[in-house]
């Protein structure tokens, strides 16, 4: 007797229909019927009876159904216990300030819930700094940026013996023009041509966001009017809030401000390449500890949940 057979039988009884259960389990109905027949043959008793409305359990089938559900619960608990016992150690994760504003806390909460024995080391920094830390093996995982998935170069340091890097496209973020609420209001969308005379507060060249912005302006044939270069999201947003200029950021830059609607205007930048590609980066899989692999999965799940719940705007999952 296999756990798979128990799962099939339980689902059939709960669905009340062989065809409905087959659809929900993504199994052909003939295979489902065959597994039930094998169960009945092994137990030497009939478990199901057909009716005009579908199938119902016999008296023996009902008794078997209750015990099968209990067995499946015990099996699931055994798997969870084994995973929690196996997954221990530490994982270091690097996030840019915009990313950590929305992802940091949900990620920590999800890791605590799913893998309580894994100790997290969270680092917030600009994308360029995180890439250097990843190359130096000071981080296990980091979300880095480019304006296209192949724009990121994680070169092995001289003398490095590593087997390479795992770079997984995670999501694309649209860019938004953000102004102080004291400045003129913005339409829902603006194009790059309208920004020719807009004084901008931007990060410097080594960081992924600036690369994405420069690529968008280059494609449009427009030179950005850079009023300030600041490599700190907190200082960028403080300068914008004070009316020293506008900035171009993903929507997540507003995530640190519960009162963002009362402090800032924002408009989506209407340009095909005006986006930031988020790349989930690590050493190659064969070099990663199980805890790091698990944390990478939790990061992807957490991002997806935030986007699907509507808590992270301007994002396309890839």
Q: What is the pLDDT of residues 53-75, one digit of tens each?
A: 889 999 998 999 999 988 998 88
CA distances from 136 to 92, 122, 149, 215, 285 (A): 13, 16, 22, 28, 17
Per-residue pLDDT averaged across 223-248, rounded? 95
Q: What is the pLDDT of residues 199-229, one digit of tens each?
A: 999 998 766 788 889 988 999 999 999 999 9
Entry pTM: 0.67
Helix axes 127-135, 208-220, angle to 10 degrees: 130
Query: Residue 4: what pLDDT?
Result: 86
Query: Residue 161: what pLDDT?
Result: 40
Find, among 312, 242, 310, the residue nearest to 276 by Cα.
Answer: 312
The residues, any chain, with a CB within 8 Å of residue 153's CB and separated by 6 or more, are: none
Residue 12's SS3 state is: helix
- The helix, strand and coil proportions of the chain, stated in percent and rounded to the nearest 5, come to 50, 25, 30
Q: What is the pLDDT of residues 135-170, one digit of tens each?
A: 888 999 999 986 444 445 455 444 444 457 889 999
Torsion, CA 171, CA 177, CA 179, CA 185, rounded to 10:
-120
CA distances from 178 to 89, 115, 261, 268, 277 (A): 41, 38, 11, 9, 19
Bridge partners of 202, per DSSP, are: 229
C-beta of residue 65 within 8 angstroms of C-beta of residue 10: yes
The stretches of 16-123 forming alpha helices (DSSP H) are 18-25, 29-43, 59-86, 97-114
Q: What is the pLDDT of residues 275-309, one digit of tens each?
A: 888 999 999 888 899 899 999 999 999 999 999 98
Query: Residue 148: what pLDDT?
Result: 45
Q: What is the pLDDT of residues 176-201, one digit of tens each?
A: 999 999 999 999 999 999 999 999 99
* Torsion sign (Cα): 109, 112, 115, 119: positive
Cα 270 to chain centroid, rounded: 24
Per-residue pLDDT averaged across 311-317, rounded? 91
Confidence of residue 126 (pLDDT cuts 50, 70, 90): confident
C-beta of residue 216 within 8 angstroms of C-beta of residue 274: yes
Query: Residue 87: what pLDDT?
Result: 78
Residue 71's SS3 state is: helix
Residue 28's SS3 state is: coil
């Amino acid at each position: 007797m296999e756990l798979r057979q128990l799962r099939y039988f339980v689902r059939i009884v709960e669905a009340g229909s062989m065809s409905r259960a087959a659809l929900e389990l993504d199994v052909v109905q003939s295979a489902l019927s065959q597994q039930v027949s094998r169960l009945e043959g092994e137990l030497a008793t009939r478990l199901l009876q057909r009716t005009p409305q579908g199938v119902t359990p016999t008296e023996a089938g009902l008794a078997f159904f209750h015990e099968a559900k209990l067995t499946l619960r015990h099996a699931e608990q055994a798997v969870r216990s084994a995973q929690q016992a196996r997954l221990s150690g530490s994982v270091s994760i690097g996030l840019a300030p915009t990313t950590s504003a929305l992802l940091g806390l949900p990620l920590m909460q999800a890791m605590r819930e799913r893998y309580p024995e894994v100790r997290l080391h969270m680092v917030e920094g600009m994308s360029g700094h995180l890439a250097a830390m990843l190359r130096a093996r000071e981080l296990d995982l980091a979300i880095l940026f480019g304006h296209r998935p192949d724009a990121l170069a994680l070169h092995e340091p001289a003398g490095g013996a590593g087997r390479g890097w795992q770079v997984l496209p995670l999501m694309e973020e649209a860019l938004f023009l953000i102004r102080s609420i004291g400045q003129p209001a913005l339409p829902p969308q603006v194009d790059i041509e309208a920004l020719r005379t807009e004084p901008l507060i931007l990060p410097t060249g080594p960081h992924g966001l600036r690369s994405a912005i420069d690529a968008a302006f280059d494609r449009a044939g427009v030179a950005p009017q850079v009023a300030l270069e600041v490599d700190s999201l907190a200082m960028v947003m403080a300068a914008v809030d004070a009316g020293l200029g506008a900035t171009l950021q993903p929507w997540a830059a507003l995530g640190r401000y519960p009162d963002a609607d009362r402090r800032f205007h924002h408009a989506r930048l209407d340009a095909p390449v005006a986006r930031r590609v988020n790349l989930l980066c690590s050493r190659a899989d064969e070099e990663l500890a199980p805890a790091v692999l698990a944390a990478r999965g939790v990061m992807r799940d957490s991002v997806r949940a935030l986007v699907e719940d509507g808590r992270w705007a301007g994002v396309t999952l890839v």
